[in-house]
């Protein structure tokens, strides 16, 4: 019997065939590594197509047989909280940086501007998977990102303007990229730019679109931005794919030169091998490490990942920012990587992808340097390292130059590379254990991990990045009536390791008072306490929109946040109907300028004529903007008008209602001829007569209905005044049939007073 191999089994077999076995020491945990099809590079692809750089890890408990879907197990790898703790990208630290599967101790408010992810093919469930990942770890989603929390956290863009075909293996790459750039910079806008295919020409088209998305940010449309010559936005472009080096690769380097844009690319998953575009001097090359933990799950440090790509380029010359490494990198060629991040699948990260691929679906554990590129893009974004963008080999303000400048300043590498060591203030962790391919880890920079890994938010900056904070309020809008109060929570978001005490002051316009439950916010136990702002409107506060400002200060640092306060007023008053017969009623609707606060808003009502009575007030319920009330009228001997007024906090609106005498007597409606016959359709005319009785002198409004439907009629005139008169009814019809036309007259004041008659219409 022939043995049948599933796609999944073939992928597992490729692990052994490709030699992807763990070496260089004990791995964090045993399991099986799956090489996805999109990772495989054929000789004929080099220079023409690129491959992904991620691997899938199946823990040993599920790897003795064919791995099964992980949907029931939830996240199984490192999380945003655990790695933001490891890489110290938030102000507080938790001992051991344990892995937690829920909203943990990462900073969900870090990041700004745009991170554009470039990948190939379509990922149909990207938006919903992004939301599931975000909800799992307490990260923002929906319209919660951008400068004012009103731009989408995630946008999907087709580079050509048309949706590419789907590819589940590339979709797995895309799920990793969008989720882990978001994990490291939760308030940045994540834009997934999908190339039509994995050809280098299509990927470069997508890189150009991605650069424009960053430069023109924030992003408000899913349509690709094909030109942004005047763009001033700043951010990152992440590329987790690559190709073996080829002789013409430098001709593509111009694609990585968007002003204000920093480009990141994976260094590859073949130990000690250089790939493009990671080798471009205009790109930050992202290498891979292993995150090590003890038996209790506590973080103990990092070592190299044996399969991480790196080494000297064969085709790109050494950029000036790498001159400091020339004692080790003696070839005079570009050295990769620049900086590294967790990439060992055995210490891999949690990723959610709801589309089954290779027998896997939902929560999975991914590794490879495809983890490093988007994650480092996120850390760069959160650090605000936007001052220089890409490097052209001489840009002293670029992120690459800043990396090596910070590295050189904080070590004695330049004077004694053989014995250099990172100081306690160095924003890097030196990887000195293990090797990547044939390249051993050494003190300071090496081909195994580059500078090492990040610690804090100053490594990517120019050195001017300092501990700081920002102030925020929730909610940012309040609606008040006179003598009422509302509250908002004031919070501190630290950055750059800031842990200082923040003093608070308030500023409010005349008519409003503002007070704080706590005049200072302090850091304790890994977070800041909050203060409750209470805003009260006085009894004389006029209706309008005002701004209350809260300012936070700590030494020379300061930050402000504004709360918009609406003191409510009446914006409109309507009456329906506006003319009634005495003894009947109408409905009044009062509308406020904003939603009523807690407890509701009481609007005063009045009438200047006893013929129309209203209640003394009506309450607009909390959270609503309008309320209705009843206008009751008395029988009158002659028509009269009443002005109804509604007022709140000094603002008022009014409307007029007419109270008419009840009609006396009655009337009848007749029509001639009784029947009309048409051939082939057309128009027919009838004379409609209104005859009064009992002294009727009112106005009669005329209308017509047809059975079956089809004919339409127009009266001239449409109303008969004075109680008697006639009107011409012109009926238009096109379809053959026998029709009954009902003609009705209705008193214009008393709708219950009516009279009807019928006529016939035949079309043959």
Q: What pLDDT shows up at residue 5?
A: 30
- Residues β-bridged to residue 617: 604
Place of tokens 């409750």: 532
d(CA 573, CA 693): 39
68, pLDDT greater than 70: no
Task: Read off the pLDDT of each residue in 623-628 and give the average, rounded to a whole number.
Answer: 92
- Mean pLDDT, all residues of the chain: 87
Counting DSSP H helices and E strands in the chain, the numbers are 7, 50
Q: What is the pLDDT of residues 77-121, one digit of tens each?
A: 999 999 999 998 876 678 899 998 877 666 677 788 899 999 999
Final residue before a domain boundary, out of 531, 550, 566? 566
Answer yes or no: do 619 and 727 share one domain. Answer: no
Answer yes or no: do 557 and 499 share one domain. Answer: yes
303 touches 342 (CB < 8 A): no
Contacts of 197 (CB under 8 A, 6+ apart): 49, 120, 121, 164
Q: Report the percentage of the chain scoring pLDDT > 70.
A: 87
Q: What pLDDT shows up at residue 66?
A: 45
CATH of the domain at 702: 2.60.40.10
Residue 137 within a domain: yes
Residue 232 within a domain: yes
488, pLDDT greater than 70: yes
d(CA 504, CA 486): 18
Q: Which of 3-7, 186-190, 260-264, 724-728 has the lowest mean pLDDT?
A: 3-7
Q: Which of 264-268, 504-508, 738-742, 746-750 has the lowest mean pLDDT?
A: 746-750
Answer yes or no: do 129 and 115 share one domain. Answer: yes
Q: What pLDDT shows up at residue 89?
A: 86
DSSP type of residue 661: P
> 109, 145, 115, 144: which is closest to 495 by C-alpha?
109
431, pLDDT greater than 60: yes
Answer yes or no: do 615 and 718 share one domain. Answer: no
Q: What pLDDT shows up at residue 104?
A: 66
Task: Read off the pLDDT of each residue in 523-539 and give the average, rounded to a whole number.
Answer: 84
Residue 402 within a domain: no
Answer yes or no: do 503 and 609 share one domain. Answer: no
372, pLDDT greater than 60: yes
Answer yes or no: do 576 and 514 share one domain. Answer: no
Q: What pLDDT shows up at residue 91?
A: 65
Confidence of residue 26 (pLDDT cuts 50, 70, 90): very low
488 touches 505 (CB < 8 A): no
Answer yes or no: do 103 and 154 share one domain. Answer: yes
CATH of the domain at 240: 3.40.50.200
d(CA 190, CA 114): 6
345, pLDDT greater than 80: yes
Q: Report the percentage of the chain scoring pLDDT > 90.
A: 61
> 128, 119, 197: which is closest to 157 by C-alpha?
119
Place of tokens 């990172």: 422
**Distances, alpha carbon 357 to alpha carbons 69, 175, 341, 362, 705, in Å:** 10, 12, 26, 10, 63
45, pLDDT greater than 60: yes
Final residue before a domain boundary, out of 516, 537, 566? 566
Q: What is the pLDDT of residues 262-319, one digit of tens each?
A: 999 999 999 999 999 999 999 999 999 999 999 999 999 999 999 999 999 999 999 9
Q: What is the pLDDT of residues 147-177, one digit of tens each?
A: 657 789 999 999 999 999 999 999 999 999 9
CATH of the domain at 494: 2.60.40.2310
Q: What pLDDT shows up at residue 14?
A: 36
Answer yes or no: do 721 and 653 share one domain. Answer: no
Q: What pLDDT shows up at residue 22?
A: 33
Residue 373 within a domain: yes
How many domains is the chain built from?
A: 4
Answer yes or no: do 12 and 139 share one domain. Answer: yes
754 touches 726 (CB < 8 A): no
Q: What is the pLDDT of residues 693-720, one digit of tens each?
A: 988 888 899 999 999 999 999 999 999 9
Final residue before a domain boundary, out of 645, 660, 675? 660
Q: What pLDDT shows up at residue 585?
A: 92
87 touches 291 (CB < 8 A): no
Residue 618 within a domain: yes
Confidence of residue 54 (pLDDT cuts 50, 70, 90): very high
3, pLDDT greater than 80: no
Task: Read off the pLDDT of each residue in 604-621 and give the average, rounded to a whole number.
Answer: 95
Task: Read off the pLDDT of each residue in 384-402 and give the average, rounded to a whole number.
Answer: 64
Residue 730 within a domain: yes
pTM of the model: 0.61
Residue 372 within a domain: yes
Residue 407 within a domain: no
Confidence of residue 405 (pLDDT cuts 50, 70, 90): confident
Answer yes or no: do 615 and 740 share one domain. Answer: no
Range(s) of the domain holding residue 48: 7-244+256-384+415-454
Q: What pLDDT shows up at residue 463?
A: 46
Q: What pLDDT shows up at residue 183?
A: 95
Given CA atoms 386, 388, 390, 391 in this order, what sign does their dihedral have? negative
Answer yes or no: do 478 and 446 share one domain. Answer: no
Work out the angle at residue 262's Cα, subtended by the Cα atoms of residues 261 and 264, and round it to the nearest 5 degrees. Answer: 140
Answer yes or no: do 596 and 638 share one domain. Answer: yes
Q: What pLDDT shows up at residue 595?
A: 85
């Amino acid at each position: 019997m022939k043995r049948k191999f599933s796609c999944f089994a073939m992928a597992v077999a490729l692990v052994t065939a490709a030699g992807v076995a763990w070496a260089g020491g004990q791995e964090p945990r045993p399991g099986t590594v799956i090489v996805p099809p999109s990772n495989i590079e054929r000789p004929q692809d080099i220079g023409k197509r690129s491959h992904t750089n991620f691997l899938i890890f199946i823990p040993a408990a599920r790897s003795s047989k064919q791995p099964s879907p992980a949907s029931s197990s939830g996240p199984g790898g490192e999380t945003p909280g655990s790695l933001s703790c490891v890489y110290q990208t938030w102000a507080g630290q938790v001992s051991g940086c344990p892995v937690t599967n829920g909203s943990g101790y990462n900073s969900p408010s870090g990041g700004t501007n745009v991170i554009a992810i470039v990948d190939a093919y379509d990922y149909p469930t990207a938006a919903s998977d992004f939301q599931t990942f975000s909800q799992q770890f307490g990260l923002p989603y929906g319209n919660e990102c951008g400068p004012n929390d009103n731009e989408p956290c995630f946008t999907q863009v087709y580079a050509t303007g048309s949706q590419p075909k789907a590819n589940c293996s590339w979709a797995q790459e895309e799920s990793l990229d969008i989720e882990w750039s978001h994990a490291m910079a939760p308030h940045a806008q994540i834009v997934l730019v999908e190339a039509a295919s994995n050809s280098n020409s299509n990927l470069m088209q997508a890189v150009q679109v991605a650069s424009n998305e960053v430069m023109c940010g924030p992003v408000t449309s899913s349509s690709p931005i094909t030109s942004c010559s005047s763009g001033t936005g700043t951010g990152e472009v992440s590329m987790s794919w690559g190709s073996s080096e080829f002789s013409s690769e430098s001709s593509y380097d111009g694609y990585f030169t968007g002003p204000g844009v920093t480009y990141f690319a994976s260094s590859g998953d073949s130990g000690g091998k250089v790939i493009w575009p990671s080798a471009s001097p205009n790109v930050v090359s992202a290498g891979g490490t292993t995150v090590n933990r003890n038996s209790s799950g506590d973080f103990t440090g990092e070592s190299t990942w044996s399969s991480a790509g790196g080494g000297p380029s064969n085709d790109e010359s050494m950029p000036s920012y790498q001159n400091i490494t020339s004692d080790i990198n003696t070839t005079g060629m570009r050295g990769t990587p620049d900086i590294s991040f967790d990439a060992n699948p055995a210490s891999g990260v949690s990723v959610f992808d709801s589309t089954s691929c290779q027998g896997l679906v939902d929560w999975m554990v991914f590794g490879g340097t495809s983890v490093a590129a988007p994650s480092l893009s996120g850390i760069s974004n959160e650090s605000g390292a936007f001052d220089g963008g890409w490097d052209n080999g001489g840009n002293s303000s670029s992120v690459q130059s800043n990396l090596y400048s910070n590295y050189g300043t904080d070590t004695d590498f330049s004077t004694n590379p053989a014995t250099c060591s990172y100081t306690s203030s160095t924003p890097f962790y030196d990887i000195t254990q293990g090797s990547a391919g044939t390249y051993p880890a050494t003190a300071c920079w090496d081909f195994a991990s580059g500078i090492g890994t990040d610690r804090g938010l100053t490594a990517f900056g120019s050195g001017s990045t300092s501990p700081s904070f920002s102030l925020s309020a929730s909610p940012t809008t309040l609606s008040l009536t006179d003598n009422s109060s509302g509250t908002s929570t004031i919070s501190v978001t630290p950055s750059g390791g800031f842990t200082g005490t923040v003093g608070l002051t308030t500023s409010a316009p005349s008519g409003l008072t503002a007070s704080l439950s706590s005049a200072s916010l302090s850091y304790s136990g890994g977070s800041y306490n909050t203060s409750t702002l209470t805003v009260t409107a006085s009894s004389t506060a006029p209706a309008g929109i005002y701004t209350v400002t809260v300012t936070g200060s700590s030494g020379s640092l300061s930050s402000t946040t504004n709360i918009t306060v609406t003191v409510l007023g009446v914006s409109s008053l309507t009456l329906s109907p506006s003319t009634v017969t005495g003894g009947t009623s109408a409905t009044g609707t009062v509308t406020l300028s904003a939603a009523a606060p807690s407890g509701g808003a009481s609007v005063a009502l009045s009438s200047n004529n006893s013929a129309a009575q209203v209640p003394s007030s009506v309450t607009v319920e909390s959270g609503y903007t309008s309320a209705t009330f009843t206008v009751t009228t008395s029988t009158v001997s002659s028509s009269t008008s009443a002005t109804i007024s509604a007022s709140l906090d000094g603002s008022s609106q009014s409307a007029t209602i007419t109270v008419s005498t009840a009609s006396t007597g009655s009337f009848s409606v007749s029509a001639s001829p009784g029947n009309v016959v048409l051939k082939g359709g057309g128009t027919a005319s009838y004379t409609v007569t209104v005859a009064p009785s009992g002294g009727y002198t009112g106005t009669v409004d005329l209308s017509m209905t047809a059975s079956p439907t089809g004919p339409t009629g127009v009266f001239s005139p449409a109303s008969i005044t004075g109680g008697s008169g006639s009107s011409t009814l012109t009926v238009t019809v096109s379809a053959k049939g026998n029709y009954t036309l009902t003609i009705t007259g209705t008193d214009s004041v008393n709708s219950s007073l009516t009279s009807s008659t019928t006529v016939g219409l035949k079309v043959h």
